[in-house]
């Protein structure tokens, strides 16, 4: 494998409701992070996995993941971007392709990991998996008044894993000023082209209780 995967897993999961940090919440009796790392490790290209965990749970996360795959676990930061930066700093010399993958996308198929990695390997500096936007999207102003309807055909919903040539991601993080919620956004600011590959509905981000219920169903169906 020529790929390192950074797994931001240090978020609280506020939108999921009260409880453990989201990466440690259970899905089919196992933490979301375990599901995510197991699927990453099943992708043949993946050589190294670095997890950014909640600082208070570092030891517990190491013990949790030891039987799943060989991983490095570091403390995450207050914002997702800081968690990714901490994980990036822990990648050993070697892998020249770096993927960033949300622990919250627990059921992401290994095939999507491979397709993102393959697109970087084929020469793209930055690659993101996307899906078409299905709902009509409106821009609203003061008082929830509609200002207009956005042309949906030009929009995409963005998932992870996002893939980068290592030097590009390192430069993007070093240059970052305002924290963003995705890594491709930092690369865009450098003026580096970012290309899209087809995403997967199974790579949904478990964000709200409905998503967790959907994921439970998908898992029971064999995912
Ligand atoms: N994440 C992280 N460090 C943070 C914030 C988020 O590593 N300081 C991670 C989360 O653990 C998750 C991914 O980034 O795997 C995507 O973030 P999100 O879905 O927003 O998770 P949370 O921030 O935990 O959820 P919420 O925003 O509802 O609190
Ligand atoms: Mg968040």
Q: In a mutational test of the pocket of ligand 1, which residue from 6, 7, 21, 22 has the highest number of ligand atoms less than 8 Å from its CB?
A: 22
% the chain with pLDDT above 70: 100
Ligand nearest to the CA of 21: 1
How many independent structural domains does the chain possess? 1
Neighbours of 40 (CB within 10 A): 25
Atom of ligand 1 nearest to the CA of 15: 28
Name residues contacting ligand 1 (CB within 6 A): 8-15, 22-23, 52, 76-80, 83, 102-104, 205, 207
Residue 179's pLDDT band (cuts 50, 70, 90): confident
Strand 195-198, strand 126-132: pairing: parallel
- For residue 130, how far is the Cα from the chain centroid? 12
Q: What is the pLDDT of residues 133-172, one digit of tens each?
A: 999 999 999 999 999 999 999 999 999 999 999 999 999 9
Judged on CB neighbours under 10 Å (0-12, 13-18, 19+), 146 is: exposed
ipTM entry: 0.99
Domain that holds residue 209: 3-220
- CA neighbor of 169 nearest in space, from 150, 188, 154: 188
Read off the CATH number of the domain in which 125 is found. 3.90.550.10
């Amino acid at each position: 494998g020529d790929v390192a995967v950074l797994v931001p897993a240090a978020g609280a999961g506020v939108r999921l409701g009260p409880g453990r940090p989201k990466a440690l919440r259970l899905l089919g009796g196992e933490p979301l992070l375990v599901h995510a790392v197991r699927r990453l490790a099943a992708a043949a290209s993946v050589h190294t996995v670095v997890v950014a965990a909640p600082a208070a749970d570092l030891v517990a996360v190491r013990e949790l993941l030891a039987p799943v795959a060989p991983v490095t676990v570091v403390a995450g930061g207050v914002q997702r971007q800081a968690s990714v930066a901490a994980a990036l700093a822990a990648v050993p010399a070697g892998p020249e392709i770096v993927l960033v993958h949300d622990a919250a996308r627990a059921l992401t198929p290994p095939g999507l990991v491979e397709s993102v990695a393959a697109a970087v390997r084929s020469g793209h500096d930055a690659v993101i998996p996307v899906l078409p936007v299905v709902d009509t999207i409106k821009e609203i102003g003061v008082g929830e008044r509609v200002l207009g309807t956005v042309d949906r055909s030009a929009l995409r919903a963005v998932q992870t894993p996002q893939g980068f040539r290592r030097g590009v991601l390192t430069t993007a993080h070093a240059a970052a000023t305002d924290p963003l919620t995705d890594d491709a956004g930092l690369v865009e600011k450098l003026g580096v082209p970012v290309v899209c590959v087809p995403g997967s509905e199974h790579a949904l981000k478990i964000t709200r209780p409905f998503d967790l219920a959907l994921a439970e169903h998908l898992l029971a169906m064999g995912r």
